[in-house]
Amino acid sequence: MGRLLALTLAYLAHLLAAAIGSERQQHHVQHGRCSYTFILPEVQHCQPLKDFQVTNTLQRDSPPEAEPEASQSRPGKAQRERPSLQERKLDHLESAMENNTQWLQKLENFIQENVRSGMEEMKRTAVHTQTAAMLEMGTNLLSQSAEQTRKLTDVETQVLNQTSRLEIQLLEYSLFTNRLEKHILLQTQEISRLSDKNSFLEQRLLALEARYGRELQGLQSEKQQLQELLERQSGLVSQLQGELSSSTLNSSSLQRQQAVLTDTVQQLLAMVNHCNEISNAPKEELLSFRDCAEILRSGVTESGIYSIRLTNSTQTVKVFCDMKTRGGGWTVLQHRRNGSVNFHRGWRDYKMGFGEPSGEHWLGNDIIHTLTSSQEYSLHVQLKDREGNEAFSNYDRFHIDGEDNNYSLHAEGFSGTAGRTSSLTHTGTPFSTKDRDNDRCTCKCSQLASGGWWFEACGPSNLNGIYYPSSSSVVRYNGIKWYYWKGPNLMTTMTTMMVRPANF
């Protein structure tokens, strides 16, 4: 295509040089929308060929068509007149122009074909280049997409792992929340129970206040009656003084009668002393036993009430001896069976003892201390619930301190069927009553749980609580309790605490 353009330019330059070298005349040609200006060569000395004819009539500047008459007369005139130089130049110019026009048309067709093929080649090259670029860009995009996909996969894996960890933590938090809710529910229930218990205690306190008010009113009425009686007695004393003054006359006879009565009384006293000496000989033998184990060894096998003499003391005590349970020889310290005796008492009552040995009773802390300190004793606790189930707790070594140490408990070597572990409080726990609080709780366990017992922080046991009838189904926390056998509320029908020598 470059050579073709060069040839075209050379030819045009040749034509331009030929036109400039002679007398040149410009010639304008209008072809469609394009206008061409030519400087044609002059052919003065060239004779045109006879058969030369201008075929490209479209490019010739022909004069306007003449009328037919003029055209018919033109050949005759041409034959008659010789053509002028200007006409000959014009004919040569038209002939050259026609040849140039044909040559230019061919050149134009050739250029168009070459340009078209070059453009198509350039288009194909551009398409191939663009296709290669697009493929390369696609490859890069695919690589980047794969890399991004790998990164997204890694991120997704990390997100899944983090999500799994978060789900596990959420589950743990949920479990912890459930446990906390259960704990709060239990605490709420416990608060509700304590509130009910507090309400019960308030009602009981109100009842006690009402009873004490009635008793106070009764005492005031009794005081008034005593005052009235005292006034009457004062009147009687005045009357008796008058009668005494009148009876002084008979004093001599009364003195003689008094002397006779004195002699009679002295004789009766002598007879009583003699009878006591006779009856004391066998009693001394019976009172020489210091516990029920010695009575059993002496041959007595029937359970019942017997008198014992405490070691290093002249005091004799009536006790109930159990001669049947686990070989017998047990000295009963505490017994409950029907709730007939009130065990919610003060320090002095528990110190001295109360009740009857044949029924419900507490032997007394002073007696229990003296008895269990004389030698090593074992403790046996016998229990029975309202369904008739029986159980026991046995302690190989048991004793309590004196009053100066608040009758502190010492019990070791637990065994038995009343629970998997001991329900007694720890060794060294002091005794508490409603009027002497020695426990380790600010709530005064003896008043809340009722009765006197070895309370530590209210503790897992209290055999001296309120005796509720077996028909009651209400859970009460101030009743008889042996926690590790029947929980906080033992609906019992019988409890017994008894001791015998550890080497029995």
Considering only residues 26 and 466, tell me which one the structure prediction assigns the higher pLDDT: 466
**Out of 41-55, 181-195, 214-228, least confident range:** 41-55
Counting residues of the chain whose pLDDT is more than 90, the rounded percentage is: 29
- Provide the CATH number for the domain around residue 432: 3.90.215.10
**pTM score:** 0.46
- Provide the residue range defining the domain that includes 215: 115-252
Q: What is the DSSP letter of 194?
A: H
Look at residue 84 and tell me if it is in a domain. no
Can you tell me which residue has the tokens 């066998």? 282
Same domain, 320 and 222: no
Same domain, 432 and 322: yes
Which amino acid, 118? G
Report helix, strand or coil for 234: helix
Same domain, 239 and 297: no
Look at residue 91 and tell me if it is in a domain. no
Look at residue 122 and tell me if it is in a domain. yes
Residue ending a domain, among 252, 281, 307, is: 252
- What span, in angstroms and rounded, lies between the C-alpha atoms of 277 and 59? 189
Give the tens place of pLDDT for each residue, 218-253: 788 777 777 777 777 777 777 776 666 666 656 656
Q: What is the mean pLDDT of residues 52-68?
A: 47
Same domain, 404 and 313: yes
Q: Can you spell out the DSSP letters for 28-85?
A: EEEETTEEEEEEEPP-SSPPPPTT-----TTTS-PPPPPPHHHHHHHHHHHHHSPPPH
Same domain, 248 and 296: no
Length of the chain: 504
Same domain, 222 and 309: no
3-state helix, strand, coil in the chain (%, to 5): 55, 15, 30
Look at residue 242 and tell me if it is in a domain. yes
Same domain, 324 and 183: no
Residue ending a domain, among 252, 277, 308, is: 252
pLDDT score of 375: 92
Same domain, 246 and 321: no
Q: Can you spell out the DSSP letters for 405-425?
A: GTT-EEEEEEEESS-SS--S-
Same domain, 315 and 242: no
Q: How many domains does the chain have?
A: 2
Look at residue 349 and tell me if it is in a domain. yes
Give the residue from 419, 393, 388 showing the smallest Cα distance to 488. Answer: 419
Residue ending a domain, among 237, 252, 267, is: 252
Look at residue 210 and tell me if it is in a domain. yes
- Residue 339 CB partners (closer than 8 Å, separation 6+): 360, 466, 467, 468, 469
Look at residue 51 and tell me if it is in a domain. no
Same domain, 230 and 319: no
Considering only residues 131 and 471, tell me which one the structure prediction assigns the higher pLDDT: 131
Same domain, 351 and 442: yes
pLDDT score of 60: 44
Q: Give me 147's structure tokens.
A: 């890399």
Look at residue 31 and tell me if it is in a domain. no
Same domain, 359 and 430: yes
